Structure 1
Amino acid sequence: MSKTPCIPETLPLVDLDWRRLLPLAGRANGALARYDGMLQTLPNPAVLLSPITVNEAVLSSRIEGTQATLEEVFERDAGIEGPESRRGDIEEISNYRVAVGNAEAELIHRPISLSLIKSVHQRLMHGVRGRDKAPGAFREDQNWIGRQGDPIEKARFIPPSPLILTQKLGEWEAYLQTEDEDPILQTAIAHAQFEILHPFKDGNGRIGRMLIPLLLYKRGALSSPMFYLSEYLEAHRDVYYDHLLAITNHGDWQSWAEFFVGAVIAQAESNLAKVKQMRDLYERMRREFVEVTHSQYAGNAVDAFFARPIIRAPDFREVAGFNTRVTANNMLRQLEGAGLIRRVREGSGQTPSVYALPGLINIAEGRPVF
């Protein structure tokens, strides 16, 4: 294995076996279309899928070594402080969520560009691990990937020299603006090339995964950038890294492309099932909240719990738009009494009660949590 900086191939690639890839890409586009079609039937997809969006931040960060769980992130949102050892993890996840939101907002009026990526990276690294590694700036020195403390001679992978990085990033940016290839295959190649270029001193994996739904959205494969792949990539982390490494070690783009397309198919099918469960839960909660409370605020209350599956009583009152604290607290007591929500922290003095919608968290996690 070479211990010199890799020299990335020029895009677009010319030696892929398109006859093998295009039928797979067709299946992947079909799976994405079914998922996207479901999103377009939802009454409020941003609210309904908020837990999936948060879970993407949790899982993409976990690939890079964080340990915080989705439940812990929701608890932190509700003001419940978890273990001190998790605080840094949760800050990184919080940054990821803000950075994704910023990127999605920017895409409304600008293309995916190097300048956009640098601004998103700056927000991702703000005040967390890696904040001393030139946030928002492409590296100007050589980096490498290996076990902590190992010299470059023992590196698993050595990204391109900074002497050619600017040129290769320019080629990569130009490739993003082309529309000659299938959107999913182009996204597969663009993601891998970004990871190979490794243009930042830290945070490359998270930025690269963040780009996946943005690229699919910009190419029209999605009507909104709400498709997240980190659940699959985190579950197959070693295979994911091995395929990326096979590109630089053996020029094996074919296996990488097939892996990525397979990941999109599996994740789209998984997401579709999860969104159906969330939609069904949402519709059932809207009925049952009305039946239990007979309140004009019942619909707003459901939206509040979907936006924040673990929520403090004062925040519930504000998000759901109640006129008085008494009315909001009465509804919370009714919903808790009916078993529709659960109190996870008893209020005391200046510390408010905290409530959760267990079914939603269980769906988002993909396993029973409550």
Structure 2
Amino acid sequence: MKPYEPRILPLDDIDWASHVTLIGKANAALARYDGILQGIVNPKVLLSPLTTREAVLSSKIEGTQVSLEDVLQYEADIKEPFKAEREQDIHEVLNYRKAMGHAVNELKDHPLSIDMIRDLHRILLSDVRGNNRWPGEIRRIQNYIGRPGSPIEKAIFVPPAPSRVMDALSNWEQYLHSEEKDPLVQLSVLKAQFELIHPFSDGNGRIGRMLVPLILYNKKMLSSPMFYISAYLERNRDIYYERLLGISRDNDWNGWISFFLQAIQEQADENSSKAWSILELYKEMKSKVPEIVPSKHAVYVIDAIFSRPIFKTSQFVPVAGSNRMAAQRILRALTENGILDIMAEGRGRQPTVYSFRQLLDITEKL
């Protein structure tokens, strides 16, 4: 199989008329979601579990086997006997989230660029599987996608030859900063083209999915770079890969664009539902928590349980002004009033582990 020869962007054969209805629905759904985002005073805190869930699902598409609760428990330093392989999976998820955080900070002062994407890749592969695959470096070897152990002749997809990668990326970046008839169609082309160029030796799929919220934010289609596309792609994994393959095999860009616009629409609606439910829960807690704990601690308590919905006692102490006795009283009151659940009772030196189950249920529901 010959290496794929990437098209020069912009594409001149997009069937705009066939996409009109989906373009309208996807843009409307995205605008509704952004309206909710703009109504959230501190989205970084409130949507923190959704951000972690996105990292979990994007990594799961690549074969990791950990859940959102696994990651949150690991972050809470719970002495769960994680096997080495699962711990590696968790670190991949944490790296994904760290890379996203780095990108958000960089985008405050700099436009999205290939150099920034290389930095994200370096963070993504830091100290995990694939860290020997040249993190942050554009590939200089011919790679391919196929069954493990199969030769390149039987590959499912062979990305562009290394000598073509930099030219293709330069064209990609130029198109990124150009104007298109519709920015969501432009995003669909950018995402697919990046994955088809396959510029890194590993981690291309995760970087490609990470680019979706970053481009939405960079193009000012979202007020905050918090869009969670991986749930839809995970549910429709076979179609996702088939539509990408359809581009390289049949030049079927329009099939991919239709699929991606549908993904944006459905995922924006799902994101809106989750964000709205979280916002309503936050409002409920703003009413309930001050009646349960001293008012001087109430805001800190609410932010703490939203940003870290699984935690142990010692991690809560700073919320109570580093007063361990006060922290234990607050936790007891929150548990007795049904706001927190006890995941594991403390024994000896093992601290009690708490969870904010209402938030976890919203985050994890399909």
Same fold per superposition (TM over 0.5): yes
Give the corresponding residue for 2:234. 234
Kindly indicate whether the alpha-carbon contact (under 8 Å) linking 1:72 and 1:82 is maintained by their aligned counterparts in 2: no
Q: State the distance in 2 between where 1:172 and 1:323 align.
A: 50
User: 2:53 is matched by which residue type in structure 1?
Assistant: N
Cα displacement (A) at 1:353: 1.8
- Please show how residues 209-228 of structure 1 align to structure 2 within 5 Å: 209-228=209-228
Distance 1:242 1:145 in 2: 13
2: distance between equivalents of 1:53 and 1:112?
Answer: 20
Letter in 2 for 1:350: R
TM-score by length of 1: 0.96
Give the corresponding residue for 2:181: 181
Please name the residue that 1:163 is paired with. Answer: 163
Instruction: Tell whether 2:349 aligns with 1:350.
Output: yes
The SS at the match of 2:311 is strand
Q: Tell me, yes or no, if the aligned pair for 2:144 and 2:159 is still in contact at 8 Å.
A: yes
Query: d(CA) in 2 for partners of 1:104 and 1:122?
Result: 16
1:62 corresponds to: 60
Which residue is equivalent to 2:197? 197
| Distance across 2 between alignment mates of 1:177 and 1:55 | 29
Q: Deviation digits for residues 155-195 of structure 1, max 9, x if unmatched?
A: 00000001111111111111111023311111100000000
Distance 1:175 1:52 in 2: 30
| Partner in structure 1 of residue 273 of structure 2 | 273
CA shift, 1:323, in A, is 4.4
Matching residue of 1:35? 33
Partner amino acid, structure 1, of 2:61? I
TM-score by length of 2: 0.97
**1:293-332 mapped onto 2 (5 Å cutoff):** 293-318=293-318, 320-332=319-331
Q: Which residue of 2 is the match for residue 107 of structure 1? A: 107
Q: How far 1:82 sits from its partner (Å)?
A: 4.7
Deviation at 1:45, TM superposition (A): 1.0
Instruction: Return the letter of the residue paired with 1:285.
Output: M
How many residues matched?
A: 364
Quick check: 2:320–2:326 contact (8 Å CA) kept in 1? Answer: no
RMSD after superposition: 1.2
Letter in 2 for 1:34: R
Judged with a 3 Å threshold, the aligned counterparts in structure 2 of structure 1 residues 159 and 363 are, in CA distance, closer, same or farther, namely same
Gaps of 5+ in 2: none
Q: Is the 8 A contact 1:76 1:82 kept in 2?
A: no
Could you report, residue by residue, the CA deviation over 1:52-99 in whole angstroms, capped at 9, with x for unpaired residues?
100000000000000100011111111123531411110100100100
Letter in structure 1 aligned against 2:163: L
Aligned equivalents of 1:294 and 1:116: distance in 2? Answer: 45
Please state how far the C-alpha of 1:25 moved relative to its aligned partner.
1.4
Q: What are the within-5 Å matches in structure 2 for residues 11-90 of structure 1?
A: 11-80=9-78, 81-84=80-83, 85-90=85-90
Give the corresponding residue for 1:337.
336
Displacement of 1:321 in angstroms is 4.8
Distance between the aligned counterparts of 1:82 and 1:196, measured in 2? 39
SS in 1 for 2:296: coil
What corresponds to 1:137 in structure 2?
A: 137
Post-superposition offset of 1:348: 3.3
Unaligned runs of 5+ in 1: none
Q: How many angstroms apart in 1 are the aligned matches of 2:220 and 2:295?
A: 41
Q: More displaced, 149-158 or 23-32?
A: 23-32
| 1:296 partner SS | helix
Query: Following the alignment from structure 1 to structure 2, what is the Cα–Cα distance between the partners of residues 294 and 257?
Result: 53
